Amino acid sequence: MKKFFALVLALLMVVSLAACGGAEKTATANEEKPELVMGTNAAFPPYEFVDDNGEIVGIDAEIAKAVADKLGMKLTIKDMEFDSLLTAVQSGAVDIVFAGLTVNEERKQSVDFSITYATGVQVVIVPEDSKIKTVDDLEGKMIGVQAGTTGDIYCTDDYGQDNVKQFNNGALAVAALQNGQVDCVVIDNEPAKSFVEANDGLKILDTEYVTEDYAAAISKDNKELTDKVNKAMEELKADGTIDEILAKYIKAE
């Protein structure tokens, strides 16, 4: 009888331990990854745009996802007005900004930048019958831009605020061009190609306005994240992931 009770007790202990082990595995499996919150303005194809399923996709979304995977984090994307992005990352409302964001000295004063991952070219969109042939013809014209972008900054500096009309996104600027509210639109080359392809009667001037580098923006108070993001991006550059993402959205000329 004693042997019988000892056997039952041993079996109960084995079952109990197995149950505890299962619970521990379940708890571990259910642990959520830390969140990486990305701020963007999803009206800048092919860097960021909303697809037919309502998802934010594009170059920046894919690079950010690859970085988050490298860091063992879950990516969450917040769509907001472009000119509020740097304030959002400074205040901690988002952790990082991927938004076709140009590196310049003014922005460096308020945020830290990751290593660059793409080169952008500011170009000029005009109607096909426009008398504007080169950048030199922009003097005295009404120029449409996306508020807060480097196109906005450059044009305002070069031609004065009275000759620049700001819009919340590039699509609105292009719509204003079609409606005759502005004479041209200055914007990055890749979005420009998307807008011209989607709207009849427009073209891109052959001459470039400005060439610039794109990078992610991170709060100056979060040096640890900047270092981790840079390490991840260096690895993604080295293994060809970033080049593959760029090639997926940007056709070779």
Token representation of residue 201: 């009667």
Q: Are 112 and 131 part of one and the same domain?
A: no
Q: How far apart are CA 90 and CA 143, in angstroms?
A: 30
Query: 137 in a domain, yes or no?
Result: yes
| pLDDT, tens only, 103-121 | 999 999 999 999 999 998 8
Structure tokens at 129: 């019958």
Residue range 89-101: mean pLDDT, rounded? 97
Interval 127-142: pLDDT, tens: 999 999 999 999 999 9
Residue 25 counted as domain residue: no
pLDDT attached to residue 92: 96
Residue 178 has pLDDT above 90, yes or no: yes
Beta-bridged to residue 116, according to DSSP, are none
DSSP per residue, 216-236? -EEETT-HHHHHHHHHHHHHH
159 and 125 part of one domain: yes
Is the whole-model pTM more than 0.85? Answer: no
pLDDT number for residue 252? 56
How many domains, in total, are found in the chain? 2
> Distance (Å, rounded) from C-alpha 101 to C-alpha 70?
22
Confidence of residue 90 (pLDDT cuts 50, 70, 90): very high
Q: How far apart are the first and last CA of the chain?
A: 87
What is the CATH classification number for the domain harbouring 149? 3.40.190.10
Span of 19-23, 62-66, 166-170 with lowest mean pLDDT: 19-23
What pLDDT, in 10s, does the model give residues 6-60?
444 444 444 444 444 544 444 444 468 899 999 999 999 999 999 999 999 999 9
Give the integer Cα–Cα distance in Å for 82 and 172. Answer: 13
Cβ atoms < 10 Å from Cβ of 170: 28
- Higher-confidence position of 88 and 207: 88
Is 188 contained in some domain?
yes
Question: Are 100 and 225 found together in one domain?
Answer: yes
pLDDT higher than 80, residue 1? no
pLDDT at res. 27: 42
CB 152 within 8 A of CB 145: yes
Q: Which two tokens stand for residue 80?
A: 């907001």
In a domain, 26, yes or no: no
The per-residue pLDDT for range 186-238, each reduced to its tens digit, is 999 999 999 999 999 999 999 888 889 999 999 999 999 999 999 999 999 99
In sequence order, which ranges of 160-217 are alpha helices (DSSP H)?
A: 170-178, 189-198
Residue 46 lies in a domain: yes
